[in-house]
């Protein structure tokens, strides 16, 4: 049986996705959503950040398959049918890229590259003592598919790594904290705080002045999760008063970041355009096909999101 799935994707061309499905799963016909002739017959849709118009066009959807890891862009829709199954990607090439993104930026600060960049602007030739990675304490908010991978990568590079999640974890060489009651203890010892949390009602605005002030003076923030985790004005205040040494933001509250935003000009702040980790087409299509096959077989899709917890 051939099934037709609309795709909603505006981050690049659709054709490579269509071609990959045709290669990997010839029974799944993926079609640009605007070209679907019988929207009432559609049961499964493949999306990245769909609009309300898209969701309204397919009244009989049973499952929506997200082309990314974070499902906040779907769950945030006010009229999302209560029984719609939401399915996400797990890793799909993103863990490798996140490892690189965090390793690169952590080494930047650990090896004082921020200081050397500043010195270069003053033609200053001044080496500073290098310290072992094992003396540089990195904390990761979120120990899921991506956070756990980054933690393991940093351990392999010799860093002193700890992490925080909702439920208890046991990960080799990573000191694990969990729950709101352990958050302050976790924060109080870090050289760098990395955020890889999903955006939910419990994590929105978590990175405010109260949380960030718990970090030791001179700490760094790296947020590659969602802009809405962070109160941007609080970050700017703490960079300006010297409490934080620097920050890296891959995501911001309003994307793309407006040319007027003070974030662009802030010394000590590095910005990347939500590119820390991208879904790679081949592994993403493999997973989406597995999820659709599970739906067709009446079994639980491996990427099914627990809607009540928001991730
Ligand atoms: P997962 O769902 O696999 O992991 C989420 C982790 O966060 C889990 O460890 C979970 O705890 C923890 N968590 C959730 N809520 C809380 C809470 N209230 N308190 C403490 N811990 C909590 O997600 P992924 O690792 O796949 O992805 C994480 C996020 O990264 C995505 O949601 C997305 O926003 C972002 N992302 C950003 C990209 C970019 O390019 N910038 C690319 C891809 C993803 P527990 O293990 O106990 O459930
Ligand atoms: C994701 C993302 O959630 O790219 O997959 O941000």
The mean pLDDT value of the chain amounts to 98
**pLDDT tens per residue across span 41-98:** 999 999 999 999 999 999 999 999 999 999 999 999 988 999 999 999 999 999 999 9
309 assigned to active site: no
Pocket of ligand 1 (CB under 6 A): 68-70, 94, 142-147, 164-167, 196-200, 202-203, 224-226, 250-251, 274, 276-277, 311
Atom index in ligand 2 nearest the CA of residue 251 equals: 6
What residue spans of 127-231 are helical by DSSP H? 145-156, 183-187, 209-213
- Confidence bin at 1 (pLDDT 50/70/90): confident
- Give the span between the Cα atoms of 271 and 241, in whole angstroms: 20
What pLDDT is stored for residue 41 in this prediction? 97
Q: Which atom of ligand 2 is nearest to the CA of 278?
A: 4
Strands (E), 133-283: 137-141, 160-165, 174-178, 192-195, 219-223, 244-249, 269-271
Does residue 226 have an active-site annotation? yes
Distance 9 CA to ligand 2 centre (A): 13
Express each pLDDT in 285-295 by its tens digit: 999 999 999 99
For range 167-179, the mean pLDDT: 98
Query: What pLDDT, on a 0 to 100 scale, did the predictor assign at position 132?
Result: 98
């Amino acid at each position: 049986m051939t099934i037709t799935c609309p795709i909603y994707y505006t981050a690049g061309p659709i054709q490579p996705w269509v071609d990959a499905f045709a290669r990997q799963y010839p029974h799944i016909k993926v079609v640009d959503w605007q070209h679907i002739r019988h929207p009432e017959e559609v049961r499964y849709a493949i999306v990245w950040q769909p609009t309300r118009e898209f969701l309204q066009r397919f009244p009989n959807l049973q499952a929506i398959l997200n082309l990314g890891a974070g499902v906040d862009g779907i769950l945030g829709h006010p009229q999302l049918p209560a029984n719609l199954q939401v399915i996400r990607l797990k890793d799909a090439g993103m863990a490798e890229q996140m490892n690189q993104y965090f390793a690169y930026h952590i080494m930047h600060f650990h090896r004082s590259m921020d200081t050397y960049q500043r010195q270069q602007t003053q033609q200053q030739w001044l080496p500073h003592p290098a310290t072992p990675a094992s003396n540089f304490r990195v904390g990761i908010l979120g120990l899921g598919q991506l956070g756990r991978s980054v933690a393991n990568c940093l351990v392999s590079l010799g860093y002193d790594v700890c992490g925080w999640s909702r439920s208890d974890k046991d990960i080799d060489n990573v000191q694990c904290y969990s729950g709101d009651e352990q958050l302050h203890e976790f924060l109080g010892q870090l050289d760098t705080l990395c955020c890889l949390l999903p955006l939910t009602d419990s994590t929105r605005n978590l990175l405010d002045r109260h949380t960030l002030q718990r970090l030791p003076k001179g700490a760094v923030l790296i947020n590659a999760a969602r802009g809405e985790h962070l109160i941007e004005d609080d970050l700017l205040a703490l960079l300006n008063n010297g409490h934080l040494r620097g920050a890296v933001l891959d995501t911001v509250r309003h994307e793309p970041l407006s040319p007027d935003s003070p974030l662009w000009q802030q010394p000590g702040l590095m910005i990347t355009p939500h590119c820390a980790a991208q879904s790679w087409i081949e592994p993403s299509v493999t997973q989406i096909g597995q999820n659709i096959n599970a739906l067709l077989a009446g079994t639980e899709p491996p990427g099914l999101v627990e809607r009540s917890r928001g991730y």
